[in-house]
Structure 1
Amino acid sequence: MKLKTLLITLCMPAILYFGSSMAAEPIRVAIDPTFPPMEYMQQGKRVGFDIDLAEALAEKLGRPLEYTDMDFKAMVPSVLAGRSDIILSAIYITDDRKKVVDFTEPYFSAGLVILVNKDNTSIKGPADLAGKRVAVQVGTKSVSVLNREYPTAKLIEVEKNEEMFNSLTSGRADAVVTGKPAALLFAKARGTSKVLAEPVTHEDYGIAVSKREPELRAALNKALEQIRADGSWQRIYDKWFGAAGN
């Protein structure tokens, strides 16, 4: 018993030092702050859903954040090279990406959604797009998915997001198909449209983590559970998107 007590006593300082030093280490976050409302620059400051989420998670983990801004295509290589620990920047969980990085559990259900005017009762889901005028941004996934899955939809292809949304409010289009974050932001800002509950595609955002850091991935998953349980996630969602869905 005395020997066991002695060993525990000798080990405690090392355990305490290791734990405190790990807790003090910043989490190096790769981010592309050009995608409102998820992450973007406002008056020289990073803001957005992902930024608030990162701060809530960091508080649970007791670790500071160290952001590095970069192009989206540079983020995975940054993690692979050991320059970043995680990517928290509206990155989809895909099979190809899982070959090189790990992901947390999903934190945001994204994918393509349908935006219609609030008084529209004829479009309740993707199947109702048949024969309807649907505004999409040229060259995006919306075009290829609709052409493949809903070929009878009459696509109105425009260059800019603003023109796409204006097509709906002006009556030129019956619906818009675009990414969920942008659709929710528009619906909240204008107040005259709604995002349908049934999506066109199911895709999730997750936090990409270096395969060298399984403990960090586990800690982030636990923190995600905690912020969902205590209402923090919902408060962040309501701040950026409100009750934009139907």
Structure 2
Amino acid sequence: MKLKRGLAAVLVAALAVGMMTGCGSKSSDKQAASDKKETLVMATNATFPPYEYVDGQDYAGIDVEVAQAIADELGMELQIQDVEFGSIISGVQSGKFDIGMAGITVTEDRKKSVNFTNTYATAKQVIIVKDGSAIQTVDDLSSNTKIGVQQDTTGDIYTTDDYGEDAVTRYNKGADAVQALLTGKVDCVVIDSEPAKEFVAANDGLKILDTEYVEEEYAICVAKDNDELLNQINDVLDKLKSNGKIDEIVNKYISAE
């Protein structure tokens, strides 16, 4: 049976509209799916064992494993960017990175630039000296002491506030500050206790003073306009704390004393 030309044209037009509508719906669905972020980009400074360091071709450490656990819970793929410590906050602030984890202490000044999650680890800054050093306690530090620190860390911030710019020598890596101590360029190094243990174990003639410099708490930094991610991570951290996963990760790298 032949259709009249006019009726055929109407049917063809209707079919084309239906096909376009169907395609448009599928395209929109695909677009909506692609709009959902599937990668969690973490900025770190992988020179801070046992929190983050390079192990062969991979990254390892407490922060790396906690971040991986968070990404797994969120159904996301973790991508790690190893950058200078001082560029982490600004990178997260600008949206270049989703989160920053590098043994980052929560401070009032940093909170002006980024938001912080609930804390996931506690730490303390300690003082490394050579065996036989005249520096025996934190009270022996003064504005005349040559203090080595990793740039932009809280060790840098605290010692600069306490003893002034002239007393502090900054290095890109904690290992560089320790090397300066070994060669006599500085009198001591102020750094987190866990990396301090690694450095002292790897270098003869160094020790950690019994008196700590300051206690602090570590958290994950997130851009101020990303409340959704902040809340998601806090929910996951609560879960990882309650089920013992964070303790398991920390105990893997830090033996109980």
Question: Bigger radius of gyration, 1 or 2?
Answer: 2
TM-score by length of 1: 0.62
Q: 1:55 to 1:99 in 2, by over 3 A?
A: same
Percent pairwise identity: 27
Q: Is the 8 A contact 1:136 1:143 kept in 2?
A: no
| Alpha-carbon separation, structure 1, partners of 2:155 and 2:95 | 34
Q: Is the 8 A contact 1:30 1:75 kept in 2?
A: no
Task: Count residues in correspondence.
Answer: 213
| Alpha-carbon separation, structure 1, partners of 2:252 and 2:242 | 17
List runs of 5+ in structure 2 lacking aligned partners: 1-28, 130-135
**SS across alignment from 1:185:** helix
**SS across alignment from 1:202:** strand
List runs of 5+ in structure 1 lacking aligned partners: 1-16, 117-122, 168-172
Verify: 1:29 aligned to 2:41, yes or no. yes
TM-score by length of 2: 0.60
Verify: 1:44 aligned to 2:49, yes or no. no
Give the RMSD, CA atoms, in angstroms.
4.5
Q: 1:81 to 1:232 in 2, by over 3 A?
A: same
Verify: 1:240 aligned to 2:229, yes or no. no
The Cα of 1:60 is off from its aligned counterpart by 2.4
Q: Which residue of structure 1 lines up, in the alignment, with residue 148 of structure 2?
A: 137
| Alpha-carbon separation, structure 2, partners of 1:75 and 1:36 | 14
Q: Is the 8 A contact 1:111 1:202 kept in 2?
A: yes
Q: 1:161 to 1:71 in 2, by over 3 A?
A: closer
**SS across alignment from 2:233:** helix
Amino acid across the alignment from 1:137: G
Amino acid across the alignment from 1:212: D
| Alpha-carbon separation, structure 2, partners of 1:210 and 1:148 | 26
Verify: 1:92 aligned to 2:105, yes or no. yes
Q: Which residue of structure 2 lines up, in the alignment, with residue 107 of structure 1?
A: 120
Q: 1:147 to 1:62 in 2, by over 3 A?
A: closer
The Cα of 1:189 is off from its aligned counterpart by 7.2
